Amino acid sequence: MSSVFKYAGQGVFYAALAALIGYFSTTPAYRHFPEDQALLRLAFNHGGAPVTECRKRTREELAKLPPNMRKPQSCPRGRVSLAVELALDGETIYRDSAKPTGLFGDGPSKIYQKFALPVGRHKIDVRMRDSRRESGFDYERTFDLDLGPRHSMVIDFRAEGGGFIILK
């Protein structure tokens, strides 16, 4: 093979490799999220109430304990699961019971849910029960949201701030 053809062949090889590398480094484009939708995320960490009430220890029980551990009350480590609901324009689209984390169920429950919603105005109701009661909710809030194309909204929960909030 003449050297002209050899160099031409090498050029073709490098051009093909460059095309392969260059093309797939950016193309084809990938549509991650549609233009006519918005994203709502419900994301918070919160610890539920202890599974039972604290109990006062008897004298006998206290006597059996080492002196440095004689706390008058015995409190359970475990926490209750959180009951969480989210309704879109009056229709419940999410209902969950979030278990506490940790080996002994004594950590906070963690919620991270994503909802793709149509663009436009929506009424969002969020409810959460973190107590030992069987029904009803301890925190409820309604948000009127005007969601634009690909808008991202986050609903968080701050117990010390009064409940559910929109994160800015």
Contact status: 151 vs other proteins (CB under 8 A): yes
Candidates 41-49, 55-63, 83-91, 138-146; binding stretch for other proteins (CB under 8 A) = 41-49
Question: What letter represents residue 102's amino acid?
Answer: G
By CB atoms closer than 10 A (0-12, 13-18, 19+), residue 118 is: exposed
Residue 112, interface with other proteins (CB under 8 A)?
A: yes
**68 sits in which H/E element:** none
Helix (H, G, I), strand (E, B) or coil at 138: coil
Residue 26 contacts other proteins per CB under 8 A: yes
By the rule CB under 8 A, 34 interacts with other proteins: yes
Kindly state the DSSP code that residue 150 receives in the 8-state scheme. T
Distance CA 2, CA 74 (A): 92
Residue 13 found at the interface with other proteins (CB under 8 A): yes
Tell me the C-alpha distance between 100 and 107, whole Å: 5
CB of 123 to other proteins, least distance (A): 21
Q: How far is the CB of 14 from other proteins (least distance, A)?
A: 4
Chain contacts with other proteins (rule: CB under 8 A): 1, 5-6, 9-10, 13-14, 17-18, 20-22, 24-35, 38-39, 41, 43, 45, 101, 110, 112, 150-152, 154, 156, 167-168
